[in-house]
Chain A
């Protein structure tokens, strides 16, 4: 393999840099009504704009009548994952707790609606229990609460673990919950349960049917409304003293505790709130699919949601929303379109065609394709599509810019003992550099 000289970047990176530079320039220099495009896309203006697009989406979709319901239904599938990504972002993005079992809360929400819409259950003795049919609004709240409570129950004993250990415990939880539903006859095991669609509601402006199988628009707007509520809630949290405490914990747990942040409580809040949103997403998913079984909730979902927020920009609200949209839209819709297009071309379609091996390949290679895209992202844009400023600084190593620092400061970022060498006389320095320096040697 040809070796590149140091400092010379690959053609891939050069191309990428040129592309991002061009996009950046366009955002800054192209003006609409005297303002650069970037101005319209930042802060609340970007949010309003995005909401407008999302609200118009069903009408845009209706321009293609054959496809409209598929597109709207895709919008629902995407929207549910946006909710999940928003929830996981609180846990991973804000508080910095790696949760690999987020699917557990999704399952709990989904089973809440399946059981709560008139499920006919059997207890251990085989006695039939008819569960009354609760309405969707109650189930949304109950599902979110149940997931939140389980989040706190799981968090209480495990959140004292750090980093990898927490990841492994949460991973276990994510595996256990679907298995529990699988193994309890009460929930009909692997067969799962059917969630009855919510009944139509009569309003002065007409009948709204969230459960319609032929027109998904009402349900789409329900999902959208919940996303708006959750986003507002998350923004309020993020910009509060609690949001600051989360960042403090992520940056330096010990210093945060010594500054008065109650670690257990603050982490539990992140975990519980994240779980709540997972539960909310689960209720919607159960209602949307109208069937819930343990097999459809697996580890892939936990990892996908994590991948969405990394792709979009971990810790950045517009980032994780965009990440979820891009990722999920590709999975649910775009991949199928690409697959059908490739499979339909004359070089591929017929079993005797020369490129027939490509038939259905995109669908089969779904994970391969997402894997490659993610890999490229990690190499080319590790901070995500719309990065969070702080996170970007953390990625660059404590966010220390060399120009901004004195020699002493630059050294300090590397290793405290070296500072002592610079800052003190050589005689004192021997003391500092000694292996017994008690803060470093013991403060583990």
Chain B
């Protein structure tokens, strides 16, 4: 693929916490339209990579380039405005807000920001409100009519799988170009996981998205990824197509070598 198609490019990204190098000069490319997975044992630095991309952490060194512009060190909301949205490993919904309100917060950047417009409900603000409400329903109906029916329910009262869905709907609210999903099937049973796999593929198709995925379940990553990067101790130890990664000795060692010690 031509390099013009590179949407997100990390080069030499490092993040150090005190004496711990959580992410050690990682290079990673996401092409437009791809689903890319980042896998690796616990503590490998996967979520830290996500946090650096989305601006929650500043990179200690290295460059994060999105659509040809550097976004390293931007505030989270600026990163979102550029077109990168995310979900969290441990679902960070606003629990005491309704499902609809959660998705509306996701569309915060579509509202006019000036105090005057919103206090006096000027036409531009009213248009934004109308559009956001409409869009929220659209986004919720991506997951079927169930969430639409539950739109006035507090987010805390939803089932686990539904909360994951709402979080994705919230992330889609900003109409991102790249969606970062941090373990979207964690805590889900097999049926729910299978459904999640389907909707991740639908996300790419219907919203014209690229997806960067952290996932532990190999049946998920192997099935839907175009490209997989493997992290261990903050370093990228392998990357390639699912088939290539699956047979990479370093990957097997990182995964299975660890697991034996856990079993003992």
Residues of A near any B CB (own CB < 8 A):
233, 236-237, 240-242, 244-245, 247-248, 251-252, 254-265, 269, 390, 393-394, 398-401, 404-406, 408-409, 412-413, 416, 419-420, 422-424, 427-428, 430-432, 434, 436-443
A247, B108: Cα distance in complex, Å: 13
Which residues from A are CB-within-8-Å of B45? 438
Which residues from B are CB-within-8-Å of A443? 47, 51, 56
A390, B97: Cα distance in complex, Å: 8
Smallest CB-CB separation from B231: which chain A residue? Answer: A438
Segment of B26-34, B61-69, B86-94, B194-202 in the binding face: B86-94
With A408-B159, A431-B42, A443-B47 in contact, do A260 and B262 touch (Cβ < 8 Å)? no
Smallest CB-CB separation from A421: which chain B residue? Answer: B187
Cβ proximity bits B96-118 to A, threshold 8 Å, 1 near / 0 not: 11000100111111010101001
Q: A255–B173 contact, CB under 8 A?
A: no
Q: B186–A420 contact, CB under 8 A?
A: yes
Which residues from B are CB-within-8-Å of A440? 90
Residue in A256, A408, A409, A437 whose beta carbon sits within 8 Å of that of B42 in the complex: A437
Residue in A248, A436, A437 whose beta carbon sits within 8 Å of that of B97 in the complex: A248
B160 → chain A closest CB, angstroms: 5
With A251-B97, A439-B90 in contact, do A259 and B22 touch (Cβ < 8 Å)? no
Categorize the interface residue count of chain B.
35 or more
Q: A237–B119 contact, CB under 8 A?
A: yes
Residue in A241, A255, A419, A439 whose beta carbon sits within 8 Å of that of B94 in the complex: A255
Sample 17 A-B pairs with CB under 8 A, ordered by A number.
A236-B121, A241-B132, A244-B101, A245-B108, A251-B95, A260-B81, A390-B97, A409-B158, A416-B91, A431-B42, A434-B262, A438-B43, A439-B89, A439-B90, A441-B43, A442-B22, A442-B47
Smallest CB-CB separation from A265: which chain B residue? Answer: B113
Q: Does B25 contact A (CB under 8 A)?
A: no
Q: Does B76 contact A (CB under 8 A)?
A: yes
Smallest CB-CB separation from B174: which chain A residue? Answer: A260
Which residues from A are CB-within-8-Å of B158? 409
Q: B104–A244 contact, CB under 8 A?
A: yes
Which residues from B are CB-within-8-Å of A404? 157
Smallest CB-CB separation from B101: which chain A residue? Answer: A244
Q: B41–A236 contact, CB under 8 A?
A: no
Which residues from B are CB-within-8-Å of A427? 259
Which residues from B are CB-within-8-Å of A251? 94-97
Which residues from A are CB-within-8-Å of B174? 259-260
A444 → chain B closest CB, angstroms: 9
Not counting A258-B56, A408-B187, a sample of 20 additional A-B residue pairs whose C-beta atoms are within 8 angstroms of each other reads: A241-B129, A244-B104, A245-B108, A247-B96, A251-B97, A254-B76, A257-B76, A258-B88, A259-B173, A260-B81, A263-B76, A390-B96, A409-B158, A412-B160, A412-B187, A422-B187, A427-B259, A434-B42, A439-B47, A441-B43
A390, B106: Cα distance in complex, Å: 19
With A434-B42, A436-B42, A442-B47 in contact, do A257 and B75 touch (Cβ < 8 Å)? yes
Q: A439–B182 contact, CB under 8 A?
A: yes
Q: A424–B187 contact, CB under 8 A?
A: yes
With A237-B119, A442-B17 in contact, do A420 and B262 touch (Cβ < 8 Å)? no
Smallest CB-CB separation from A434: which chain B residue? Answer: B42
Which residues from B are CB-within-8-Å of A439? 47, 88-90, 182
A interface: dominant SS: helix
Which residues from B are CB-within-8-Å of A434? 42-43, 262
Q: A261–B96 contact, CB under 8 A?
A: no
Q: Does B48 contact A (CB under 8 A)?
A: yes
Q: A261–B77 contact, CB under 8 A?
A: yes
Q: A394–B105 contact, CB under 8 A?
A: no
Q: Does B221 contact A (CB under 8 A)?
A: no
A242 → chain B closest CB, angstroms: 6
Q: B54–A258 contact, CB under 8 A?
A: yes
Which residues from A are CB-within-8-Å of B107? 260
Q: Does B227 contact A (CB under 8 A)?
A: no
Which residues from 2 to 18 on chain B have a C-beta closer than 8 Å to any C-beta of chain A? Answer: 17
Q: Does B46 contact A (CB under 8 A)?
A: yes
Q: B105–A245 contact, CB under 8 A?
A: yes
Q: Does B188 contact A (CB under 8 A)?
A: yes
Which residues from A are CB-within-8-Å of B93? 252, 255
Which residues from A are CB-within-8-Å of B80? 258-260
A419, B159: Cα distance in complex, Å: 12
Q: Does B170 contact A (CB under 8 A)?
A: yes
Residue in B88, B106, B187 whose beta carbon sits within 8 Å of that of A260 in the complex: B106
Q: B187–A438 contact, CB under 8 A?
A: no
Which residues from B are CB-within-8-Å of A394? 96
Q: A401–B42 contact, CB under 8 A?
A: no
Q: A432–B42 contact, CB under 8 A?
A: yes
Q: A423–B81 contact, CB under 8 A?
A: no
A265, B76: Cα distance in complex, Å: 13
A41, B118: Cα distance in complex, Å: 27
Q: B92–A436 contact, CB under 8 A?
A: no
A14 → chain B closest CB, angstroms: 29
Cβ proximity bits B210-222 to A, threshold 8 Å, 1 near / 0 not: 0000001100000
With A258-B54, A399-B156 in contact, do A241 and B43 touch (Cβ < 8 Å)? no
Nearest first, the 7 A-B pairs at minimum CB distance are A436-B43, A423-B187, A255-B92, A257-B76, A241-B111, A260-B109, A439-B89
Q: B216–A428 contact, CB under 8 A?
A: yes
Q: A438–B48 contact, CB under 8 A?
A: yes
Which residues from B are CB-within-8-Å of A237? 118-119
Q: B77–A420 contact, CB under 8 A?
A: no
Which residues from B are CB-within-8-Å of A428? 216-217
Q: Does B142 contact A (CB under 8 A)?
A: no
A430, B41: Cα distance in complex, Å: 11
A394, B124: Cα distance in complex, Å: 33
Q: Does B154 contact A (CB under 8 A)?
A: yes
B74 → chain A closest CB, angstroms: 11
A64, B69: Cα distance in complex, Å: 74
A134 → chain B closest CB, angstroms: 25
A245, B96: Cα distance in complex, Å: 13
Q: Does B137 contact A (CB under 8 A)?
A: no
Which residues from A are CB-within-8-Å of B86? 258
